[in-house]
Amino acid sequence: MKVLVTGAAGFIGYHVSRRLSESKRCEVLGIDNLNDYYSVDLKQARLKQLESFDAFRFLRLDFSDAKAVLAIFEHFKPDYVVHLGAQAGVRYSLENPAAYVQSNITGFLNMLEAARMHRPRHMVFASSSSVYGAGAKVPFSEDQITDQPVSFYGATKKSNELMAYSYSHLHKLSLTGLRFFTVYGPWGRPDMAPILFSKAISEGKPLRLFNEGKNLRDFTYIDDIVDGILKVLLYPAADTPVPPYRVFNIGHHRPVETRLFVEMLETLLGKKAKIELLPPQPGDMFETCASLERIQAAVGFEPKVPLEEGLRRFVEWFKEYYRLS
């Protein structure tokens, strides 16, 4: 089968592309615009890992270019689409909201239009736990009202869900949105907590903890996330009820306080952190915790990697990649 993966040079996109390419049952086309939101060298290093797979091909392409997206669908004719490309980051959306409109709104519309015209069997797209905003109750469940996101990034992801629902309703497209909670693991993004914290600890630099380190996060290991994505991808919604549209949480359901997360990294890195306790950051959520009942019932998703083991694997990679003794 042919699978198109957007954001293939990104953290989750790389791991999904690798797992599909390893299966030897897929022809995988990865696209990414390789923007400089964070280190392009890291993105290139991920792609270099994928070069060894005969089943994987890569094209540098920006899916906010409607003509380019249509050309990809016309020539590759994907059976399945995993749309993970996006402008990510809650805090950066305070600084550059236009980037989020171009990628997350215009780019997503281009993907939907291409899917409408060329009709893959199923398209899974990345939403986010950031859609849960003011008034959300823990654990977050998919039937909660999500019309008050507290970040612009979250607002664009909620918009994606609404856009997808309307396209599914109007054009009978099989579409599934996945609300990712905090994902970590090898090859992770350098703007996210695990690498930010690990670098600060390793380099003896101040480690800034917003909300005095009391925020609770539902950390989910990357292998569990990939398992969930692929299970959902291969089991699209049934034709009835109409529309064939779904949205699922995908997380771990065991939130951990940020301060404890840092302490675990200190132990694995063998070095104490120089912590700065700061007030809450605008746009941040104090606690995230995924209800997994819906995705468990649909595809049997069950996270398997405990935080202790996942962080051990992450730190091994971190030391090797960043050349720490």
**Which tens digits make up the pLDDT trace of 174-215?**
999 999 999 999 999 999 999 999 999 999 999 999 999 999
Options 14, 80, 92, 153, the catalytic residue: 153
Q: What is the pLDDT of the chain when averaged over all its residues?
A: 95
Percent of the chain scoring above 70 in pLDDT: 98
What is the CATH architecture of 2-187+218-251+290-304? Answer: 3-Layer(aba) Sandwich (3.40)
User: Would the pLDDT of 283 be above 80?
Assistant: no
pLDDT score at 134? 82
Which pLDDT band holds residue 239 (cuts at 50, 70, 90)? low
Residue appearing with tokens 């215009």: 106
- The SS3 assignment for 163 reads helix
Which pLDDT band holds residue 284 (cuts at 50, 70, 90)? confident
What are the angstrom distances between the C-alpha of 172 and each of 1, 52, 76, 202, 280?
Answer: 21, 37, 22, 51, 43
Sequence-separated (6 or more) residues with CB below 8 Å from residue 67: none
As a whole number, mean pLDDT of residues 79-107 equals 96
Q: Note the pTM of the prediction, 2 decimals.
A: 0.95
pLDDT score at 325? 53
Which pLDDT band holds residue 242 (cuts at 50, 70, 90)? confident
pLDDT score at 240? 57
Nearest CA to 220 out of 191, 241, 192 is that of 192
Determine if the peptide bond prior to 241 is cis (ω within 30°).
yes
Establish whether 92 is a catalytic residue.
no
First to last CA, the chain: 43
Residue appearing with tokens 């990939």: 226
User: 6 - beta bridge partners?
Assistant: 31, 83
Residue ranges of domains in the chain: 2-187+218-251+290-304
Q: Which two tokens stand for residue 105?
A: 């709104």
pLDDT score at 268? 98
